[in-house]
Structure 1
Amino acid sequence: MATDDFVCFTFVLFVLNLAWKMLSLTLMTIRKPLFLVASLWLVMVTGVSNARSATLIPTGATWSYWPGEEAPSLQAPFWVEANFSDANWQEGPAPFRYGDGEGGTLIEGMQNTYSTFFIRRSFQVAAPDQIEALTLHIDYDDGFALWINGRRVRSANAPNAIQLDSLATGSHESGAFETFSLDAGIEHLVPGRNIVAIQGFNTTLGSSDFVLHPELVYEGLDAEAPVVIAVDPAPGLVEDFREVTVQFSEPVQGVEARDLTLNGVPAQSLSGRGDTWRFGFAPPEPGSLTLRWEQETGITDLARTPNPFDGQAASETRLYQLLDENAPHIIDIFPRPGQALSACSSVRLLFSEPIQGL
């Protein structure tokens, strides 16, 4: 090779090496922002979401109502049943009240006349077997009893045997919503139209106030197991591998450091919470790296019936190549330099690491 060609070739190698180092530094600097952006993109594209709750009947909804001056029904079908006709009932928005609260339907003539008030409303359920939890949020004064499709499900300050002129068994002031589980009513739901019926009670005929303001919400059955949607660093060439950040598709629990291994060696440390966890490893030797989950982990999502994470899926094994940035160097020579020899037929060199091309 001519001298000019050699100089040119050497200069090109120098420029390429410098460019590679600058690119590596840039990637290391922006890796975490890119990781976060990629994670957000994955969530947007795949539609991963933990929002499985929905409102069946909102606050301020319109209900059919019946003042308790006379019984709403004297024979079957009774007013709490789904096939009862409430065509002659009045309609109005919640809250139903007098003497307290604001907005909604103002009840006139209840004080000193009657102690109970009746409301009912239909709601739609497409698949009852997909409902995991049913919840009532209600602001009330002084008591109530609730039925779903004719079955009594929940009550507060209500007598066991309910009559038209029943009184609340205790005093309760309105002003804040309270939460009651209606899970016992899930088995009474049917596909399509359902009816919730509520009877409100005052403590006395002369009570100065009355409030009845319900909201009905549900939580859908969570049957989706958590999966890993992003890792940092991403599989491929890496210059350093001492920790890895794992993002799941939803918050998880039961995570332990030993759950994740690098070339069969469990992680040494763990931090994080929710859907993002960081595993720390002892510095590995350069070369091929395999990031793999243990055969059995206790990782699950936070569903009422937890769904386990499947770490043995093929997509959960990730491969890396750890670059060796340290050039080999001689750490020992035999015979040692300066040693007086009568003859020397060979020299033994000990390098800092295995080499090739000698």
Structure 2
Amino acid sequence: MDFDLTEEQSILKDSLDRLLADKYDFEKRMKIMAQPDGWSGEMWNAYAEMGLMALPFAEEDGGLGGSPVETMIVMEALGRALVLEPYFATVVLGGGVLRHGASAEQRAEFVPLVAGGELKLALAHTERNSRYDLNHVETVARRDGDGWVLSGQKSVVLGGDAADHIFVTARTAGDIRDMNGIGIFMVDAKAEGLARRSYTNQDGTHAAEISLDGVTVPAASVIGDPGDGLSIIRRVADEAIAALSAEAIGVMEKLHALTLEYLKVRKQFGVPIGAFQVLQHKAVDIFVALEQARSITLYATMMADSDDEDERSRAMNAAKAEIGRAGQLAGENAIQLHGGVGMTMEYAVGHYFKRMTSIDLTFGDHDHHLRRLAERGGLFG
């Protein structure tokens, strides 16, 4: 199988790498993180001008018709730069709901705004008691004439503090863990009855706790079948795992590069510490973990747009299990080889390990997905 990038994909990769190298080194990132919003509006506009926001959307909806490979290229680059802008929340999560669940009229209205960088989205699905179970939804939606009224709480809504519209899942029927009876509702972030409490995650990104107290949603803002939203959420979650896996590859590449650089310049007993064989073995362990993770990420990327839910979700279980294991090994070894400096806020390697840890916990950690894969008889069981 040919894994080479096409000419257009290579241009995308090179252009984005140059932009981030010029505008997003570690010192600039620290300054951006200290801003009130915690991310850069200037960079957001630059991504939009490059067409990054439009990549995954169909051309007939106002996008560029990109595949999961283009998303992989972008997410790897964003991972290498530890980008703070809510691209994942808007384009991968919110954009995924639009692509897979919205009507033609809804896509025609909102996709051009997202593609132009004018509209930021978020997905509010996780709840305090849901852990990693996508079917656990306690937030309630009750009918009110032609519309709906939402009440409940959502937690760790990535990009939820910055979003203009939020996709909220709510139970329209059944018990809190039923597979059916889950709807998706597009809610204006300024809607009466919606409250947001924003905070900074350990990796520097932002999220929000969202409460809904009698929020009215018109029928036109319902996404798909109000009783079958879980199928959309599952597909979006699988695509999100593939995207996060790609971002993790970018993070691990930087962990490896920073560690090699440090081994060459840090001296002990008058020689670079990289001259010691035991430390060389640790650096090799990081490289091997990176390459193993890269292989499963390529597979997850190829499976991300598969219509076979069983095969697709198995691939994501395998990718998340391996990414989490490899990322933990790479991060721990990188910190150990750097010593105390690796844990300081002023040095980059600790920030990369924090992001790697956050990726592992998003949409299920490696233990969760390894258990799911074993229960299903393996990747090809």
Task: Give your verdict on TM over 0.5.
Answer: no
Q: Tell me the TM-score normalized by structure 1.
A: 0.22
Q: TM-score, normalised by structure 2?
A: 0.21
Comparing both structures, which one devotes a greater share of its residues to helix? Answer: 2
Larger Rg: 1
